Amino acid sequence: MDSVEVLVAHIQDLSGNPVELAHLHAILKQSEDTLRVQASRLVPFIEQLDPSSHSLGYLFLLEAYSSGPILRENISSFLACVVGFINFCSAEQIRLAPDKFISVCKRFKDQVIQHQVPIQGVAPLRTAVRKLQSSYEQLTALHSDFLFLCLLSKCYKAGTSVLDDEVLEIDQPRDFFLFCYYGGMINIGLKRFPKALECLHNVVTAPMSTINAIAIEAYKKYILVALIHLGQIPSLPKYTASTVLRSLKSYAQPYVGLASSYATGKFSELEAFIQTNVEKFQTDNNLGLVKQVLSSLYKRNIQRLTQTYLTLSLQDIANAVHLNTSKEAEMRVLQMIQDGDIFATINQKDGMVSFHEDPEQYKTCEMIDQIDSSIQRLMALSKKLTAIDEHISCDPAYITKIGRERPRLDFDDFDSVPHKFL
C-alpha cells in the first residue's frame, strides 16, 4: 500500500523535464510487479494523477489496472478513463513506453468490442494512433486495431484519414498484413476500388516465407475487386514470394474459376457458376462482392459496345448484354453515364443511345495542376529512393554480404583463356 503511495508521489514530483522523466521511467519499471499485484485497488490512485502532465505514471498505473479483470460495474468508468487519457496525454511521455500504451489501447479495444459499442472506440483510437506515431509514414501496432473498429462500426470514412497516409516504416509484418487487409475492406466499403486493389495487392505480394491466412483471404478479395474494377486479374508480379505464387491458386479455387467464367463474358455462364459455388462464397463472407462482380459484367459489356458503336438502340443494348427489357438497359446506361464510366447521351424519343469520345482534352488549368502535382510527387519520391539507395550501399551489413557472395579475386583466376574454350 505504502509503495503505491510513494510511487504516486514520485510521479507527481518527477514529471517535469526529460531528465526527471527518464529517472521516473526507471523507477516505474522496477515497481511494475508491485503495481500488478495491487491492480484492483489502483482506481483511487489513478484519480489523483493528471493525465496531461503525469502521462507516463498515469500510463503505468492504467496499464497495471487494465491487465487485471475489470468488474462489470466499472466498465463504463474504465472506458471513460481511457478515453480521457488518450485525449489528454502528452505524446512525448507516452512514447517513452509505447508497449504499455499499445497494451492499454488493445485492452480498450477488446472491451469496446465485447460490449458491442465499437463506434465508441473509433475516435479515441484515431487520436491514439496519431499520438503514438512519430511521423505519418510510420505504421504502429494500433493502425490495424483502429481500422478493425472502423469496419465493425461501419465508419468507413473515419478510416480513410489513416489510409490516405503513405505508410512506409513498418515494425511488425503482421501489423502490416492486417492494416492492408482491413484497409482494402474499408476501401471496398467506400467503393474506392483502385485503392482497395492496391491495399490487397500489397498483402499478396509482401515478402513472406510461409503463406498465411491473411494473404489467402486478401487474394480472394483481390480477385473479386480486380474483376469489378478491371474486368480481369492482372498476373502477380515476379517479386511475389514463391510460396505464394505456388499455392495461392489452390487455396482460392472457386475464385479462379469465377474469373475464368467472367472472362467468357457470358452472363448466364457466370450466374450458373456463382449458383453452384454460392456456399463457398457465403462462408468466406464474400457473397456481396461476388454479386457486384456479376453486375459489373453488364457494365463491362456495355463499355465494350462503346468501343464499336457510335449509336445503338436501347433494345440492341439489352440484347447484346442479355438484359430483359430496354428499360433496364436504359437504367444501366444512365447509371454508367452518371458514374463517368462512359460518355453518352440517351435520346428517349427514338430510344437511341449515342456514345461519345472522352471529352477530356487535357487543356484545362486543373489538369495541368494535376500533372504538375504528380510530377512534384514523383520527384520527391525519386529523391527518397536515391537517398535510401545510398544508405543501403553504405550499410556495412550489406557490403559484407555482397563481399561474401562474390568470391575474392584471386590472381590465378585471371587465365589468359577462359576454361570453357580450352
Partner 1 sequence: MNGEQMDIEAYAALYTGRTKVLRLLFIAEQCGNQSMQLEALRMAYDEIRKGEDSHLYRQVVQKIDAGLGPHYELDHSWADAIDRRAEQRKEKLENELNSYKTNLIKESIRMGYNDFGDFYYAHGQIGDAFKNYVRTRDYCTTSKHIIQMCLNVILASIELGQFMHVSNYVSKAEQTPDSLDPITVAKLRCAAGLAHLEAKKYKLAARKFLETGPELGNNYSEVIAPQDVATYGGLCALASFDRTELKNKVIDNISFRNFLELVPEVRELINDFYASRYATCLDYLENLKHNLLLDIHLHDHVEPLYTQIRHKAIIQYTHPFISVDLPTMASAFKTTVAGLQKELEALITDNQIQARIDSHNKILYARHADQRNATFQRALQTGVEFEREVRAMLRRANLIKHDHNQRGSRKL
- Asked whether position 341 contacts partner 1 by CB under 8 A, the answer is no
Task: Find the shortest distance in angstroms from Cβ 268 to partner 1.
Answer: 19
CA distance 202 to 182: 12
Query: Could you tell me the CA-to-CA distances from 71 to 40, 62, 77, 111, 365 in Å, in that order?
Result: 9, 15, 10, 11, 62
Count CB atoms within 10 A of the CB of residue 237.
10
**Least distance from C-beta 130 to partner 1, angstroms?**
20
The answer to the question of residue 328 lying near partner 1 (CB under 8 A) is no
340 sits in the region (left: phi over 0; alpha: psi -120 to 50; else beta) called left
Contact 15, 54 (CB under 8 A): yes
Does residue 206 belong to the site contacting partner 1 (CB under 8 A)? Answer: yes
From candidates 135, 235, 250, 307, binder to partner 1 by CB under 8 A? 307
# chain residues binding partner 1, by CB under 8 A: 47
What count of other Cβ atoms lies within 10 Å of the Cβ of residue 24?
23
Q: Which is nearer to partner 1, 229 or 304 (CB)?
A: 304
Q: For partner 1, which stretch binds (CB under 8 A), given 47-55, 94-102, 121-129, 357-365?
A: 357-365
- 170 φ, ψ to 5°? -125, 135
**139 to 24, 163, 286, 372: CA distances (angstroms):** 28, 11, 27, 29
Q: Which is nearer to partner 1, 45 or 182 (CB)?
A: 182
What does the alpha-carbon distance between residue 418 and residue 411 come to, in Å, rounded to a whole number? 14
What is the smallest separation between the CB atom of 351 and partner 1, expressed in angstroms?
10
Residues found in the chain: 422
> By C-beta, is 173 or 288 nearer to partner 1?
173
Question: Which of these segments, 27-35, 269-277, 300-308, 412-420, binds partner 1 (CB under 8 A)?
Answer: 300-308
Identify residues 33-92 at the interface with partner 1 (CB under 8 A). Answer: none
Q: Does 358 bind partner 1 (CB under 8 A)?
A: yes
Smaller CB separation from partner 1, 3 or 382: 382
- Under rule CB under 8 A, which residues in 145-184 are in contact with partner 1? 166-173, 176
Residue 215 contacts residue 199 (beta carbons within 8 Å): no
Q: Does 384 bind partner 1 (CB under 8 A)?
A: yes
Rounded to an integer, what distance in angstroms lies between the CA atom of residue 246 and that of residue 283?
24
- Separation of alpha carbons 286 and 288, rounded Å: 5
Interacting positions 218-277 with partner 1 (CB under 8 A): 239
Binding site for partner 1 (CB under 8 A): 166-173, 176, 198, 201-202, 205-207, 209, 239, 304, 307-313, 316, 350, 352, 354-355, 357-358, 360-362, 370-371, 374-375, 377-378, 381-382, 384-385, 388, 397
